[in-house]
Structures are given as C-alpha cells and as structure tokens.
Structure 1
Amino acid sequence: MQRVSAKMDDAGYLTAIGAVVRARRLKQGLSQEALADLSGIDRSHMGRIERGERNVTFLNIVRIANALDCRPSHLLRLAGA
C-alpha cells in the first residue's frame, strides 16, 4: 500500500484512514461484515468509517488494527497521519 500525502484537511484524513482500512480488509479477503464482527463494530458504522464519513475513535482504530492483525500505528502511517 502506498502512503497518502501528509498535508490534508480533516476530511482528507478520514477518507485516507477509511481507504487504508478497506484496502487492508480486501487484501486479507475479509468482507466488511466479517471485519466489523472481528472488531466489535456495527457493520453500518464500519461502512461509514471506510467511506470517510465518520470520525473514527482511537479505540476503534485499535480494534480494527487488531482485527486486521497489524498495529494501529501502521494504519495511521499509511493514512499519512
């Protein structure tokens, strides 16, 4: 995965972290519903996170990273945060 530009506005960060989560999920062959179940997040909320429509909390970033078998810092770094 390629890193996103470091100079973004708030909406850009949300879109970037969502894109990183989605790409990692697809790479692992997980459905959105499966990732939501593994991370303990409602599926519709997960969809909004992936579309950059929700300001994802740190705890949810940790839950998502654990479900994707990576560190939260890895997701954030790829998103340019």
Structure 2
Amino acid sequence: MHAPDDDAWLLEHSRVLGDRVRAVRRDRKISQEQLHLRAGVSRDVLQKIESGRQNPTFYTLLRIARVLDISLADLIR
C-alpha cells in the first residue's frame, strides 16, 4: 500500500475521533469537566482531542474509554 503524500487523512481521522469522543460523552450525559477529572487528563487536552487538534496517547484513549464505559475499539471505530 502506498502512503499518501500529505497528512490530510490523519487530520480527518483526528476530527472523526474527536467527534466520536464528544458524541459518546454527550450521550452518557458527562460534561467535559467530569470526563477530564475522571480520566485524569487535562481539560485542555480533552478539548483538543474533541476538536481534532490533539494526537492522544494510547493510555489517554484507554482512560477516556473506561470513563465513557465503551471499548477502545468502539471508541476509535
């Protein structure tokens, strides 16, 4: 498989992930404040993840998924 010449596809996937985190959080009726505190991530990092401007670590995604009571696979699908 040939790699793309630019990273636009990465930015699109970051936006999709951020949208998914936000949608699940809202569906669970959890505020950003509650999520960032329970997951042990800064509010700034969570806001950047939800806006697609942050490349979260694996551990951060695991923490978020655990608080949202969703599997990591379902969160990043």
Tell me the TM-score normalized by structure 1. Answer: 0.82
Residue 5 (structure 1) aligns with: none
Residue 52 (structure 1) aligns with: 52
Q: How does 1:1-81 map to 2 (within 5 A)?
A: 9-77=9-77
Secondary structure of the structure 1 residue equivalent to 2:55: coil
Residue 44 of structure 1 deviates from its aligned partner by 1.2
- Cα-Cα RMSD: 1.0
Tell me how many residue pairs correspond in the alignment: 70
Distance 2:76 2:66 in 1: 13
Distance 1:44 1:55 in 2: 13
Matched AA of 1:22: R
Deviations 1:22-80 (A, max 9, x none): 00000111110101011100011100110000111111110100010011011111xxx
Secondary structure of the structure 2 residue equivalent to 1:36: helix
Runs (4+) of structure 1 exceeding 4 A deviation are none
List runs of 5+ in structure 1 lacking aligned partners: 1-7
List runs of 5+ in structure 2 lacking aligned partners: 1-7
Question: Larger RCO: Structure 1 or Structure 2 (Cα < 8 Å, ≥ 6 residues apart)?
Answer: 1
Matched AA of 2:43: R
Tell me the TM-score normalized by structure 2. Answer: 0.86
Q: Which has the larger radius of gyration?
A: 2
